[in-house]
Amino acid sequence: MLNRRTFGKIVASTGMAATIGAASTSVASAATGRSAAATTDAAAGASEGGRRVVLVHGAYADGSCFSDVIPHLQTAGVTVTSVQNPLTSVADDVAAVRRILDLQTGPTVLVAHSYGGTVISQAGDHPKVRSLVYLSARAPEAGEDYAALSKKFPAPPANAGLVYENGFGQLTEKAFLDDFANGVPAERARVLYAAQGRIAQTLFTTKTSAAAWTSKPTRYVITTEDRTTNPELQRFLAKRMKAKTIEVASGHLSFITHPKTISAFILDAVNSK
């Protein structure tokens, strides 16, 4: 695990101390119309040396949830693409990520939040993926019953707020604001709630057939104030993966509440040999 002094040097080396204003992201629709991406070549040499990042959101969200992190990565000269998962099935989400990976021009760091960890564990075996970054994310072994694994740890409060209707589910407003987006300013959290992606009822029970983290360098961010994924479960997953790990005093949406810290951790993966 990185200590604060070492990680502080990473933050300083990335130039994250400068204040970065709000940035707009260009959105391009994928050929299937199901996946959209925000991609910018921030520097002339960005397509060389593995300076590409693909971001994969989890449940109750969409690709725009990374809007606080994207400008930091772009300013550092990284080409960034944020996938739009349809959340209709694990297979559909994996296909959406693979389409975006196919478009990358070289080695790429694949980053996922929450349920998105299931997706990159499967899609991360793509030949263009050089390393993986998990943000409070699921990380099942191939064929593992992740739901059964998670039940070995105390249930997080957000679980009680997941309601399904006609085969799709979402969090109640109270669960979303208090448990999923805890720590996010209330006005921003309400916007995120309005845009939350509804999930297929089978999404959390589908097993994967691959675990890319067993063969590729892996990093993990543990969020200690998390009310959606139990922090002890996160620690178990990070240890099992032998991941390079940091802990952040944040709720589930650390990339919104601590964008500089999360950006620096992703850049550590980008800049690694």
Catalytic status, residue 114: yes
- Please identify which of the residues 114, 121, 150, 263 carries the catalytic annotation: 114
- With contact defined as beta carbons under 8 Å apart, do 15 and 75 qualify? yes
Tell me the DSSP string of 169-232.
Answer: EEE-HHHIIIIISTTS-HHHHHHHHHTPPPEETTTTTPPPS--GGGTS-EEEEEETT-SSS-HH
Cα atoms in the 13 Å half-sphere on the side-chain side of 92:
14
- Exposed, middle or buried: residue 150 (CB in 10 Å: 0-12, 13-18, 19+)? buried
**Pairwise CA distance, residues 113 & 97, whole Å:** 13
Q: How far apart are CA 134 and CA 246, in angstroms?
A: 11
In sequence order, the β-bridge partners of residue 162 are 171
Q: Which residues are catalytic?
A: 114
